[in-house]
Structure 1
């Protein structure tokens, strides 16, 4: 593989773009892209990892690796340069102004004697990943996104040809990560625009409870002081939850899918009702995907208003939103199909799409989902 990369560099470079750009557009393809990188460099594992800084979602994707081992690594606290020779080698180069070189075993050999503990070194030997190469794809105020291959003693140390192949893949992976981050960030802006279109005041928040975007109506609420927004953190006195508590309830790992609270307002003005909705789980992300939505004035309880609302939150088509509302109203499926002029088979397919987009597994789940919106 290394020889092919050297003799057909242009073809392989273009191929890497295809492989990694597809992963940026469909994040569930990252494992396949990393596996291709590992195979072409003669390595057992490919890895994409996010660490450090304030990156919203630390992640560690490793091919052909036991998930329990990834969890063990995360719990062991081996992400510091005092224990991890891969981190130490990277930091040593960053300090000298070299942000994205391809580092490998020779770089690891230089830093291992200075580690405060050999626990991580011994663990890597035990599970069969003492060798490999790596580079930084992104270093920003969110932290570091790194790309690596992890190798066993049987794989051996990386060769110069394998590192050249890795470097070609890394160039494409770097572009892909930047594209995926941008696409994730744009989703929050698109949601805010959708809420503006239906005149709903909404805050879109990430997995850490920080505001990614908000509608013009929400901006007006902040301007009058009913809700405070400081450093992308929302707050405001309320009952039974403050705004900050409501956000935390939505983002906590074992938190709520829906929350409702009443915020205090000055005398003479009606209280501000806030509803929060956790969005359906999606493929892993680099940390920029919307995680939940807080609504300051809910949708009109007419069918058109609710349909637009469901389209904004769950990306239902107008037809799917109408079907969801009819199901909530207790209409029979045969009646819905007749009213909409579709076959029973077509209706079943549309209902299946509704469940998929809403992240639920049946009609009972749909009823629970729609109850706070339509009741």
Structure 2
């Protein structure tokens, strides 16, 4: 059984969709009913995969804003133990008496966990955690050596998968450089894993502390951070607009998950590609706007109307919308494009310098 598991561990490092079934078998080995593996540098589950038996629970945890914060990774990291531990082994005495995570797990019929933490070269941590029903009591200490015997193989498999992901990242940015596009691959904290040579000469992209890549426009940079925090989940693609200024032209930063499968926790990262907008007095194409700015078709209609010089009232009428609905769409458009006024929005989509000076109310 152990030899077969070792073989499957290394297979999963190359074929990430094998992880869920492997986690289920490892759960059985430890007297658990399911498990999860996630990569993080903050304790947040941004990239994860889980056994089918606990997947619904993990989805609920990641998507429910009412879930209590989980401080277990912090205590596990503090122990710095190269093996599997039960929560009763690494949490402070009396902590479980008021632990909100255990109370939340009990709503799912669970309540006891064991896990391990594997440091990665990128600075991230890979955490594997296995869940046991509350009614059965804590994991038996005698079962931890079974998982410990496999941990060196799990650690090596994680390193292999991460290395493959890094090579894939380097290939991606090199290919985009040949196409004349500045590009970088970032981890969840915004640190650059791979950057092509065009980024250094791009005023839109700057390197900050700890190797983090940032955009040279605070509202756009805030949108990039938001995309890095949530864009990987579900494989969503985002676009972030940067208006023109005295040192840069208007541009779009496309944010794409760089992963082969949804289960590619260890090789997953985010590809950031910059494209410039050509200054143009023409009205933007409604078919092009959704791809550039993540707009809905109705939002694109509003932008086209405003760019044509129409008021919001007339743009709404042309799109078959009420003014109240159009205003709601406009607020969403502002958020997606990082603009605050209609004049700034029109200047952005036409690739021209934004309007400077006092903010004035835009005509309705």
**The TM-score by the shorter chain falls in which range?**
0.5 to 0.7
The within-5 A match list for 1:40-189 is 40-53=29-42, 57=46, 59=48, 61-65=50-54, 67-68=56-57, 71-72=60-61, 75-81=66-72, 88=75, 90-91=76-77, 93-94=79-80, 99-104=81-86, 107=89, 111-115=92-96, 117-125=98-106, 127-138=108-119, 142-152=123-133, 157-159=138-140, 162-189=143-170
Contact 1:275 1:296 in 2 (8 A): yes
State the number of aligned residues. 269
- Provide runs of 4+ in structure 1 moved above 6 Å: none
Contact 2:46 2:229 in 1 (8 A): no
Contact 1:134 1:147 in 2 (8 A): yes
1: CA distance, partners of 2:60 / 2:126: 18
Cα deviation 1:21-52 (Å, max 9, x = unaligned): 22222222211110111223342123324455
Give the gaps of 5 or more residues in structure 2. 278-348, 350-364
Q: 1:291 aligns with which of 255, 259, 270?
A: 270
Q: 1:25 aligns with which of 8, 14, 20?
A: 14
Higher helix proportion (structure 1 or 2): 1
Shift of 1:113: 1.8
Change in Cα spacing, 1:134 to 1:122, as seen in structure 2 (3 Å) is same
Contact 1:52 1:144 in 2 (8 A): yes
What's 2:356 paired with? none
1: CA distance, partners of 2:136 / 2:45: 34
Give the gaps of 5 or more residues in structure 1. 5-11, 299-371
Contact 1:55 1:143 in 2 (8 A): no
What's 1:228 paired with? 206
Cα deviation 1:317-353 (Å, max 9, x = unaligned): xxxxxxxxxxxxxxxxxxxxxxxxxxxxxxxxxxxxx
Indicate the SS of the match to 2:98: coil
Contact 2:34 2:131 in 1 (8 A): yes
Contact 2:185 2:272 in 1 (8 A): yes
2: CA distance, partners of 1:245 / 1:124: 33
TM-score (norm 1): 0.57
Contact 1:206 1:288 in 2 (8 A): no
Shift of 1:136: 1.9
Contact 1:202 1:215 in 2 (8 A): yes
What's 1:275 paired with? 252
TM-score (norm 2): 0.58
The within-5 A match list for 1:185-196 is 185-196=166-177
2: CA distance, partners of 1:105 / 1:228: 42
2: CA distance, partners of 1:187 / 1:283: 16
